[in-house]
Homo-oligomer: A and B are copies of this chain.
Amino acid sequence: MVSEPSTEIMEATYHALCEHGYANLTMQRIADESSVTKAALHYHFDTKQELLNAFLGYLIDQFEARLACDASDPRERLTTFLDAIFSTASDRDTDFAIALMGIKAQAPYQSQYRERLEEVDETMQSVVKDAVADGIESGLFDDVEPDTVAHTVVTLVNGSRVREVTLGEEPNEARSLVEAYLELELGWSPEGEA
């Protein structure tokens, strides 16, 4: 195991997942997307699971960078959150959402994946919860339970991903639902601010 997997390997994993899905992903197919040999990949990662665990960590870092918001305004922080979650979907994004769903379906069998997914969930919930709590404190939002709002928002986000994969639903449809829900709870909607 190398402490910092190269960006090239992570990008190759992304492309191989989009191309072949999780079930058909092999070390060889990841190698094919990079300048690294399969043997070199195995030098860094014993198994496909280990490589994917590193890849999930890489994704989380990217996601957290997109969530990073210096704004003190909680409305702006919620809008940045929704932008990061529901970034404009390309066909490639849908392929990737499909591959991620394959990984999620493995979470019960792979504790490493599960820990990564828990990490993402905690990050998402805390961003929403903190923004809502701050907005209530500064009188911008109605006085509601920040934990409930955060839990509802992330459950809608989880549902949106499944609907994208299983029903071909556009992520923007779920974004509208989340915005309508926030307006109902907080008395404020990100839509009006955009």
Contact = CB atoms under 8 A, between A and B. Distances in A.
A42 interface: no
A151 to B, nearest CB: 6
A69 interface: no
Interface of A: 21-23, 98, 101-102, 104-105, 107-109, 114, 117-118, 121, 148, 151-152, 154-163, 165-168, 173-174, 177, 180-181, 184-185
Copies per complex of this chain: 2
Contacts of A108: 98, 165-166
Nearest to A108: B98
Contacts of A160: 155, 159
Given A157-B159, A159-B155, A181-B181, A101 B104 contact: yes
- Main secondary structure, interface of A, reads helix
B162 A148 contact: no
A173 B151 CA distance: 9
Given A23-B23, A105-B102, A167-B114, A180 B162 contact: no
Contacts of A158: 158-159, 162-163
B152 A104 contact: no
A157 to B, nearest CB: 7
A111 to B, nearest CB: 11
A117 B163 CA distance: 10
A155 B151 contact: no
A121 B159 contact: no
Contacts of A185: 184
27 contacts: A21-B109, A22-B105, A98-B108, A101-B104, A101-B105, A102-B105, A107-B165, A107-B166, A108-B165, A114-B168, A121-B167, A151-B173, A151-B177, A152-B156, A152-B180, A155-B156, A155-B159, A155-B160, A155-B163, A157-B159, A158-B158, A158-B159, A158-B163, A159-B160, A159-B162, A181-B181, A184-B184
